[in-house]
Structure 1
Amino acid sequence: MKKALVSSILSLGICTTTLAVFAHISLNKELGFLKIDAAFAGNNAKVEEFIIRGTEPFWNVTVSKSGIVYSSPDTRKLTFPYVAPLTAAGRPADLVRVYRLRGKGNHSILTIKKVSACSDGMSDKNYPYSATLILGNTVLEGCAERK
Protein backbone atom coordinates (compact mmCIF):
# COMPACT_ATOMS: atom_id res chain seq x y z
CA MET A 1 0.00 0.00 0.00
CA LYS A 2 2.87 2.39 0.81
CA LYS A 3 4.46 1.60 -2.57
CA ALA A 4 1.20 2.44 -4.33
CA LEU A 5 0.94 5.72 -2.42
CA VAL A 6 4.55 6.66 -3.19
CA SER A 7 4.00 5.71 -6.85
CA SER A 8 0.85 7.87 -7.01
CA ILE A 9 2.63 10.83 -5.44
CA LEU A 10 5.57 10.42 -7.82
CA SER A 11 3.19 10.24 -10.81
CA LEU A 12 1.38 13.34 -9.60
CA GLY A 13 4.71 15.15 -9.25
CA ILE A 14 5.69 14.28 -12.80
CA CYS A 15 2.29 15.40 -14.15
CA THR A 16 2.47 18.63 -12.15
CA THR A 17 5.96 19.35 -13.45
CA THR A 18 4.79 18.71 -17.00
CA LEU A 19 1.80 21.03 -16.57
CA ALA A 20 4.05 23.73 -15.11
CA VAL A 21 5.71 24.05 -18.50
CA PHE A 22 2.36 25.02 -20.04
CA ALA A 23 0.64 26.90 -17.21
CA HIS A 24 1.32 28.74 -13.98
CA ILE A 25 0.47 26.43 -11.06
CA SER A 26 0.13 27.49 -7.47
CA LEU A 27 -1.03 25.72 -4.35
CA ASN A 28 -3.86 27.46 -2.58
CA LYS A 29 -3.08 26.46 1.02
CA GLU A 30 -6.28 28.01 2.41
CA LEU A 31 -8.56 25.96 0.17
CA GLY A 32 -6.25 22.97 -0.31
CA PHE A 33 -6.19 22.64 -4.08
CA LEU A 34 -3.97 23.38 -7.06
CA LYS A 35 -4.86 26.42 -9.14
CA ILE A 36 -3.82 26.25 -12.78
CA ASP A 37 -3.72 29.70 -14.31
CA ALA A 38 -3.55 29.60 -18.11
CA ALA A 39 -3.18 33.40 -18.23
CA PHE A 40 0.50 32.92 -17.42
CA ALA A 41 1.06 30.29 -20.11
CA GLY A 42 3.99 31.65 -22.03
CA ASN A 43 4.94 35.13 -23.11
CA ASN A 44 1.87 35.54 -25.33
CA ALA A 45 -0.49 35.90 -22.37
CA LYS A 46 -2.77 38.87 -23.00
CA VAL A 47 -3.33 41.33 -20.19
CA GLU A 48 -6.70 43.02 -20.44
CA GLU A 49 -6.56 46.69 -19.51
CA PHE A 50 -9.46 48.49 -17.86
CA ILE A 51 -10.34 51.92 -16.55
CA ILE A 52 -12.82 51.93 -13.67
CA ARG A 53 -14.55 55.05 -12.37
CA GLY A 54 -16.72 55.62 -9.34
CA THR A 55 -18.63 58.60 -8.03
CA GLU A 56 -19.72 59.76 -4.60
CA PRO A 57 -16.99 59.42 -3.53
CA PHE A 58 -14.93 59.94 -6.69
CA TRP A 59 -12.33 57.23 -7.29
CA ASN A 60 -10.74 55.34 -10.16
CA VAL A 61 -8.72 52.23 -10.85
CA THR A 62 -6.56 51.39 -13.83
CA VAL A 63 -5.74 47.79 -14.64
CA SER A 64 -2.70 47.26 -16.85
CA LYS A 65 0.31 44.99 -17.14
CA SER A 66 2.33 47.48 -15.10
CA GLY A 67 -0.04 47.16 -12.14
CA ILE A 68 -3.47 47.88 -10.70
CA VAL A 69 -3.65 51.44 -9.38
CA TYR A 70 -6.38 52.93 -7.16
CA SER A 71 -6.64 56.67 -6.66
CA SER A 72 -9.10 59.20 -5.27
CA PRO A 73 -8.91 62.90 -4.35
CA ASP A 74 -9.13 62.06 -0.61
CA THR A 75 -6.51 59.33 -0.26
CA ARG A 76 -3.05 58.49 -1.46
CA LYS A 77 -2.57 56.38 -4.55
CA LEU A 78 -2.45 52.61 -3.92
CA THR A 79 -0.51 50.46 -6.38
CA PHE A 80 -0.86 46.69 -6.51
CA PRO A 81 1.14 44.29 -8.67
CA TYR A 82 -0.83 42.94 -11.63
CA VAL A 83 -2.42 39.55 -11.00
CA ALA A 84 -4.36 37.48 -13.50
CA PRO A 85 -8.07 37.56 -12.70
CA LEU A 86 -10.09 34.61 -11.54
CA THR A 87 -13.18 33.83 -13.62
CA ALA A 88 -16.51 32.28 -12.67
CA ALA A 89 -16.57 28.50 -13.02
CA GLY A 90 -18.72 27.35 -15.90
CA ARG A 91 -19.21 30.89 -17.23
CA PRO A 92 -17.66 32.70 -20.20
CA ALA A 93 -14.33 34.33 -19.28
CA ASP A 94 -15.64 37.77 -20.24
CA LEU A 95 -18.61 37.63 -17.83
CA VAL A 96 -16.84 38.25 -14.52
CA ARG A 97 -13.25 38.85 -13.42
CA VAL A 98 -12.08 38.83 -9.81
CA TYR A 99 -8.68 40.31 -8.98
CA ARG A 100 -7.17 39.49 -5.58
CA LEU A 101 -5.07 42.56 -4.87
CA ARG A 102 -2.20 42.16 -2.46
CA GLY A 103 -0.02 44.85 -1.02
CA LYS A 104 1.78 45.61 2.21
CA GLY A 105 -0.67 44.39 4.86
CA ASN A 106 -3.55 44.95 2.44
CA HIS A 107 -5.85 42.34 0.95
CA SER A 108 -8.37 43.89 -1.42
CA ILE A 109 -10.68 42.57 -4.12
CA LEU A 110 -11.66 44.09 -7.44
CA THR A 111 -14.55 42.54 -9.38
CA ILE A 112 -15.40 43.53 -12.94
CA LYS A 113 -18.67 42.17 -14.35
CA LYS A 114 -20.05 42.49 -17.89
CA VAL A 115 -23.48 44.14 -17.91
CA SER A 116 -25.84 45.48 -20.55
CA ALA A 117 -25.16 49.04 -19.34
CA CYS A 118 -23.62 50.70 -16.28
CA SER A 119 -24.25 54.36 -15.54
CA ASP A 120 -21.89 56.39 -13.40
CA GLY A 121 -24.78 58.65 -12.36
CA MET A 122 -22.90 61.79 -13.42
CA SER A 123 -22.79 61.58 -17.20
CA ASP A 124 -24.86 60.21 -20.04
CA LYS A 125 -22.20 57.62 -20.82
CA ASN A 126 -23.06 53.94 -20.47
CA TYR A 127 -20.24 51.52 -19.66
CA PRO A 128 -20.17 47.82 -20.64
CA TYR A 129 -18.92 46.68 -17.21
CA SER A 130 -19.79 47.31 -13.58
CA ALA A 131 -17.11 47.14 -10.91
CA THR A 132 -16.93 46.57 -7.17
CA LEU A 133 -13.79 47.40 -5.22
CA ILE A 134 -13.32 46.23 -1.64
CA LEU A 135 -10.51 48.04 0.19
CA GLY A 136 -10.40 46.79 3.77
CA ASN A 137 -13.86 47.61 5.21
CA THR A 138 -14.77 50.01 2.38
CA VAL A 139 -16.90 48.84 -0.54
CA LEU A 140 -16.99 51.01 -3.66
CA GLU A 141 -19.10 50.54 -6.78
CA GLY A 142 -18.48 51.99 -10.20
CA CYS A 143 -18.41 51.40 -13.94
CA ALA A 144 -15.63 50.10 -16.17
CA GLU A 145 -14.49 50.01 -19.77
CA ARG A 146 -11.60 48.49 -21.62
CA LYS A 147 -8.64 50.81 -21.99
Structure 2
Amino acid sequence: MKTFISSIAILGFSISLLSMHGNGMAVAQTANSEEFIARGTEPFWSVTVSKRGIVYSSPDAPKQTFPYVTPLKAEGRPANLVRVYRLKGRASNILIIKQVDTCSDGMSDKNYSYSATLILGNRVLDGCAEKK
Protein backbone atom coordinates (compact mmCIF):
# COMPACT_ATOMS: atom_id res chain seq x y z
CA MET A 1 0.00 0.00 0.00
CA LYS A 2 2.85 2.41 0.85
CA THR A 3 4.45 1.68 -2.54
CA PHE A 4 1.15 2.44 -4.30
CA ILE A 5 0.69 5.77 -2.47
CA SER A 6 4.34 6.71 -3.09
CA SER A 7 3.94 5.93 -6.80
CA ILE A 8 0.87 8.17 -7.02
CA ALA A 9 2.70 11.00 -5.23
CA ILE A 10 5.70 10.72 -7.58
CA LEU A 11 3.41 10.61 -10.64
CA GLY A 12 1.58 13.74 -9.45
CA PHE A 13 4.88 15.56 -8.85
CA SER A 14 6.15 14.53 -12.32
CA ILE A 15 2.99 15.83 -14.00
CA SER A 16 3.36 19.10 -12.08
CA LEU A 17 6.93 19.46 -13.34
CA LEU A 18 5.87 18.75 -16.93
CA SER A 19 3.28 21.52 -16.79
CA MET A 20 5.84 24.09 -15.64
CA HIS A 21 7.00 26.69 -18.14
CA GLY A 22 10.72 27.26 -18.71
CA ASN A 23 10.79 30.13 -16.22
CA GLY A 24 9.25 28.02 -13.45
CA MET A 25 5.77 29.48 -13.89
CA ALA A 26 2.91 27.02 -14.39
CA VAL A 27 1.17 27.40 -17.74
CA ALA A 28 -2.54 26.61 -17.97
CA GLN A 29 -3.35 24.28 -20.85
CA THR A 30 -6.88 24.33 -22.31
CA ALA A 31 -8.37 22.12 -24.97
CA ASN A 32 -9.31 25.02 -27.24
CA SER A 33 -6.25 27.23 -26.68
CA GLU A 34 -5.26 26.74 -30.34
CA GLU A 35 -8.65 27.66 -31.83
CA PHE A 36 -8.82 31.02 -33.62
CA ILE A 37 -10.79 32.90 -36.22
CA ALA A 38 -8.76 35.35 -38.30
CA ARG A 39 -10.46 37.89 -40.59
CA GLY A 40 -9.45 40.56 -43.04
CA THR A 41 -11.09 43.17 -45.22
CA GLU A 42 -10.21 44.60 -48.64
CA PRO A 43 -10.30 41.82 -49.76
CA PHE A 44 -12.61 39.95 -47.39
CA TRP A 45 -11.20 36.65 -46.10
CA SER A 46 -11.28 34.44 -43.04
CA VAL A 47 -9.33 31.54 -41.59
CA THR A 48 -10.68 29.21 -38.93
CA VAL A 49 -8.05 27.33 -36.92
CA SER A 50 -9.08 24.25 -34.96
CA LYS A 51 -7.76 20.78 -34.24
CA ARG A 52 -10.04 19.51 -37.05
CA GLY A 53 -8.20 21.64 -39.63
CA ILE A 54 -7.35 25.13 -40.85
CA VAL A 55 -9.93 26.50 -43.29
CA TYR A 56 -9.43 29.55 -45.53
CA SER A 57 -12.46 31.12 -47.16
CA SER A 58 -13.10 34.20 -49.25
CA PRO A 59 -16.07 35.34 -51.38
CA ASP A 60 -13.85 35.50 -54.48
CA ALA A 61 -11.86 32.24 -54.08
CA PRO A 62 -12.63 28.57 -53.48
CA LYS A 63 -12.46 27.36 -49.87
CA GLN A 64 -9.16 25.73 -48.96
CA THR A 65 -8.75 23.27 -46.11
CA PHE A 66 -5.35 22.47 -44.62
CA PRO A 67 -4.57 19.81 -41.99
CA TYR A 68 -4.02 21.16 -38.50
CA VAL A 69 -0.36 21.50 -37.58
CA THR A 70 1.14 22.43 -34.25
CA PRO A 71 2.22 26.06 -34.56
CA LEU A 72 5.79 27.21 -34.20
CA LYS A 73 6.39 29.59 -31.30
CA ALA A 74 8.84 32.48 -31.01
CA GLU A 75 11.97 31.41 -29.15
CA GLY A 76 12.43 33.09 -25.80
CA ARG A 77 8.88 34.49 -25.82
CA PRO A 78 5.69 33.35 -24.08
CA ALA A 79 3.88 30.63 -26.03
CA ASN A 80 0.77 32.82 -26.35
CA LEU A 81 2.62 35.70 -28.05
CA VAL A 82 3.25 34.41 -31.60
CA ARG A 83 1.94 31.35 -33.44
CA VAL A 84 3.18 30.40 -36.92
CA TYR A 85 1.15 27.77 -38.77
CA ARG A 86 2.82 26.21 -41.83
CA LEU A 87 -0.09 25.34 -44.09
CA LYS A 88 0.67 22.31 -46.24
CA GLY A 89 0.06 22.66 -49.96
CA ARG A 90 1.72 23.27 -53.30
CA ALA A 91 2.95 26.75 -52.39
CA SER A 92 4.48 28.37 -49.32
CA ASN A 93 1.42 29.03 -47.18
CA ILE A 94 1.78 30.49 -43.70
CA LEU A 95 -0.58 31.91 -41.09
CA ILE A 96 0.95 34.11 -38.37
CA ILE A 97 -1.15 35.05 -35.34
CA LYS A 98 0.43 37.53 -32.94
CA GLN A 99 -0.93 38.85 -29.65
CA VAL A 100 -1.20 42.66 -29.72
CA ASP A 101 -2.66 45.39 -27.54
CA THR A 102 -5.40 46.02 -30.08
CA CYS A 103 -6.15 45.22 -33.71
CA SER A 104 -8.91 46.91 -35.71
CA ASP A 105 -10.47 45.44 -38.82
CA GLY A 106 -11.11 48.96 -40.17
CA MET A 107 -14.79 48.20 -40.78
CA SER A 108 -16.29 47.98 -37.30
CA ASP A 109 -15.72 49.28 -33.81
CA LYS A 110 -14.61 45.83 -32.66
CA ASN A 111 -11.06 45.51 -31.34
CA TYR A 112 -9.24 42.20 -31.45
CA SER A 113 -6.45 40.88 -29.20
CA TYR A 114 -4.47 39.34 -32.08
CA SER A 115 -3.21 40.43 -35.47
CA ALA A 116 -3.13 37.93 -38.34
CA THR A 117 -1.00 37.71 -41.47
CA LEU A 118 -1.88 35.08 -44.05
CA ILE A 119 0.53 34.22 -46.86
CA LEU A 120 -0.96 32.10 -49.64
CA GLY A 121 1.64 31.62 -52.34
CA ASN A 122 2.42 35.15 -53.58
CA ARG A 123 -0.55 36.78 -51.79
CA VAL A 124 -0.13 38.46 -48.40
CA LEU A 125 -3.33 39.20 -46.49
CA ASP A 126 -3.43 41.20 -43.25
CA GLY A 127 -6.15 41.20 -40.62
CA CYS A 128 -7.11 40.52 -37.02
CA ALA A 129 -7.85 37.37 -35.02
CA GLU A 130 -9.62 36.23 -31.89
CA LYS A 131 -9.82 33.03 -29.89
CA LYS A 132 -12.91 30.94 -30.56
Cα distance in 1, alignment partners of residues 109 and 31 from structure 2: 31
Corresponding residue SS for 1:77:
strand
Structure 1 residue runs of 4 or more that deviate by more than 3 Å after TM superposition:
44-47
Q: CA deviation at 1:132?
A: 0.2
- Other-structure match for 2:98: 113
| 1:43-85 CA-partner distances (Å, limit 9, x unpaired) | x984510001100000000000110000000000000000000
Partner of 1:67: 53
What residue identity is the alignment partner of 1:114?
Q
CA distance in 2, matches of 1:117, 1:72: 24
Counterpart in 2 of 1:40? none
Unaligned runs of 5+ in 2: 1-28
Kindly tell me: are residues 46 and 106 of structure 1, through their superposed partners in 2, closer, same or farther at Cα, counting changes over 3 Å? farther
Q: 1:91 aligned to 73, 77, 90, which one? A: 77
Could you tell me how far apart the structure 1 residues matched to 2:65 and 2:31 are? 20
SS for the counterpart of 2:88 is: strand
TM-score by length of 2: 0.75
Q: How many residues align?
A: 104
Task: Give, in whole Å, the separation in 1 of the partners of 2:93 and 2:30.
Answer: 24
> Which of 103, 108, 129 is the aligned partner of 2:114?
129
What is the CA–CA distance in structure 2 between the aligned matches of 1:129 and 1:45, rounded to whole Å? 18
Give the superposition deviation at 1:107.
2.8
Task: Please give the TM-score of this superposition, normalised by the length of structure 1.
Answer: 0.68
Name the CA shift for 1:145/1:45 in 2 (closer, same or farther; >3 Å).
closer
Distance of aligned partners of 1:115 and 1:45 in 2 relative to their CA distance in 1, 3 Å threshold: closer
Which of the pair has the greater relative contact order for Cα pairs under 8 Å at 6+ separation? 2
2:116 is paired with a residue whose SS is: strand
